C-alpha cells in the first residue's frame, strides 16, 4: 500500500550506504527522494549538502550503518546536523541496520560501550527520533535519549514461508520441521516465529571465541533428532561462522534440509559462497537492510524488501498512529 504525504511538508534524503532502499521507502510514501551532494576533499574531509530546503519541515534521513561503518556514520551525523542547522522542524534518523549493537556492555576493562556512544552522538547531531530494525542486543533500545522505534521483519518472513508452503504444496508439521535459534539471545524471536506455524523451537548453546570463530554445544544434536527440516532464525549473518557451525551439527544429527532466515545479511568474506557449498542449505532468506550487490547474489539467496515496513511505520508516526504492531518484541 502506497501512502501519500504532503511533499511540501516532508523531505526524505539518503546517505550513500543504501540509496536503493531509501528510494523504495520514498515511493511507499508517495514522495520523491531528494538529492544529496557528497564530495571528498584532498585532505579526506567530507562535504555534504542537502539538495532541497528543509526549513520548518519534517525530515527523514535514511542511512544503514554498513561497511565502511565509520564513513557511513559520519555521513549520517553530518546530515542530521545540516537538517537541524537549516531549521528543520523534526529530524528523523531511519537506520535499517544499526551497527555496534553488539557493544552493549563493558565486559572487559578500558573499552567503550559504543552502542551508547553512537546513541548519544545521534542526539547531539540533532536527531529527534530514531527508527531502526532488529537490534542485535534489544537492551540497546534503552541507550537512546530520543524516541526510538525498533521494528521487526518477522511479518515478511511469515508471509514468505506461507507462500513457500503453498508453492511446494506442503504444510510444515511439528513432527518434521523445527525452528532453531543459534544462541539463547534469539530464543524468544525463534519461538515467536514458530508459534505462527505451530512448530517447535529450540536454541543452541553458543560460545563466541573470536570475531570469526564460535563453539556450539552438541546437545542440539540430540534435541533435533528425528526432524527432517530445520529453519535457522538469526538477527544477522556476517561471516557465517555461527550458522555454518550450527548447520554442520544439524546435518550430523540427521537434518536433511535447512533454511536460513536472518534480518541483516552482511555476508562478509565470501560468507554466501561458504553457505552455498553446503548442499543441505536449500535457501538463504534475508532482507535489504544491508545492500547486497547483484553480482554477489547466489541462486539460493532470497532478498525481501523492508521498504514497506519502514514506509508504514513512517506514515503511522507522521499521522500520529500507534506503530506497536510493527515493533520487534
What DSSP state is assigned to residue 288? B
Q: Kindly state the cell numbers that stand for 221.
A: 544434536
Q: What's the CA gap between 289 and 293, in Å, rounded?
A: 13
DSSP secondary structure letters along 112-153? --HHHHHHHHHHHHT-SEEEEE--SSGGGGGG-SS-EEEE--
Give the three-state DSSP class for 30: coil
Asked if 296 is an active-site residue, the reply is no
DSSP secondary structure letters along 152-192? --HHHHHHHHHHHHHHHT----TTTEEEEESSGGGHHHHHH
Q: What's the CA gap between 261 and 292, in Å, rounded?
A: 15
Q: Kindly state the cell numbers that stand for 294.
A: 547483484
Catalytic residue among 206, 228, 300, 316, which? 206
Classify burial at 236, counting beta carbons within 10 Å of its beta carbon; exposed 0-12, middle 13-18, buried 19 or more: buried
Helix axes 187-195, 154-168, angle to 10 degrees: 50
Q: What's the CA gap between 274 and 150, in Å, rounded?
A: 30
What DSSP state is assigned to residue 32? P
Q: What's the CA gap between 144 and 141, in Å, rounded?
A: 6
Task: Give the catalytic positions in this structure.
Answer: 206
Amino acid at each position: 500500500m502506497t501512502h501519500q504525504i504532503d511533499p511540501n511538508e516532508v523531505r526524505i534524503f539518503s546517505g550513500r550506504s543504501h540509496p536503493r532502499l531509501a528510494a523504495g521507502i520514498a515511493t511507499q510514501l508517495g514522495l520523491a527522494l531528494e538529492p544529496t551532494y557528497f564530495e571528498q576533499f584532498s585532505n579526506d574531509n567530507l562535504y555534504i549538502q542537502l539538495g532541497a530546503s528543509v526549513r520548518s519541515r519534517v525530515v527523514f534521513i535514511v542511512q544503514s550503518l554498513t561497511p565502511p561503518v565509520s564513513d557511513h556514520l559520519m555521513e549520517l551525523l553530518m546530515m542530521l546536523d545540516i537538517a537541524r542547522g537549516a531549521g528543520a522542524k523534526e529530524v528523523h534518523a531511519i537506520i535499517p541496520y544499526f551497527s555496534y549493537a553488539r557493544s552493549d556492555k563493558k565486559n572487559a576493562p578500558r573499552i567503550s560501550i559504543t552502542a551508547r556512544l553512537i546513541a548519544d552522538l545521534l542526539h547531539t547531531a540533532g536527531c529527534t527520533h530514531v527508527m531502526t530494525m532488529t537490534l542485535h542486543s534489544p537492551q540497546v533500545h534503552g541507550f537512546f535519549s530520543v524516541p526510538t522505534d525498533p521494528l521487526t521483519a518477522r511479518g515478511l518472513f511469515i508471509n514468505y514461508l506461507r507462500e513457500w508452503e503453498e508453492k511446494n504444496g506442503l504444510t510444515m508439521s511439528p513432527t518434521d520441521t523445527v525452528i532453531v535459534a543459534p544462541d539463547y539471545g534469539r530464543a524468544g524471536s525463534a519461538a515467536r516465529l514458530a508459534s505462527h506455524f505451530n512448530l517447535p523451537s529450540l536454541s543452541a548453546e553458543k560460545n563466541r571465541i573470536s570475531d570469526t570463530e564460535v563453539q556450539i554445544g552438541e546437545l542440539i544434536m540430540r534435541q533435533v533428532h528425528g526432524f527432517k527440516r530445520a529453519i535457522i532464525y538469526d538477527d544477522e549473518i556476517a561471516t557465517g561462522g555461527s550458522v555454518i557451525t550450527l548447520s554442520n551439527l544439524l546435518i550430523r544429527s540427521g537434518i536433511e534440509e535447512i533454511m536460513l532466515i536472518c534480518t541483516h545479511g552482511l555476508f562478509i568474506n565470501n560468507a554466501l559462497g561458504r553457505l552455498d557449498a553446503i548442499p543441505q542449505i536449500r535457501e538463504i532468506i534475508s532482507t535489504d537492510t544491508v545492500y547486497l550487490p547483484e553480482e554477489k547474489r547466489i541462486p539460493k539467496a532470497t532478498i525481501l524488501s523492508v521498504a514497506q515496513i519502514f514506509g508504514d511505520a513512517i506514515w503511522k508516526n507522521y499521522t500520529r498512529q500507534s506503530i506497536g504492531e510493527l515493533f520487534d518484541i
